[in-house]
Structure 1
């Protein structure tokens, strides 16, 4: 029986600098924006992340898209 992937939702993870550690290295934190449509355009998501952090004092260091997919057995037929 074949198994197919059914896209569910995605989470946009935004990593940013939030001060320094006691050793003087950048402290990296992250926040997640959940329930992103799995077919959302990657360039649009990146532009949104950059626009959001342009309103913040914290520099954006990474934009990560985490996809969730359900694996289901394809019905025979």
Structure 2
């Protein structure tokens, strides 16, 4: 099995068993923020499907499942 092709910025914490599909972006910094300045935390046993972008500053609990092409922004 090949390694997934996704982009992960610094300060991204993935819980045990969380799977990330190809072409995802994890920890995208918000405008005016530096990469890694804000944490992205995703709990255990999640499924992040292809083409999902999740910004830094987000905290997601256990067993999250995204659809394809989802965008989750910081608040």
TM-score by length of 1: 0.27
Larger helix percent: 1
Higher RCO, 1 or 2 (CA under 8 Å, sep at least 6)?
Answer: 1
TM-score by length of 2: 0.27
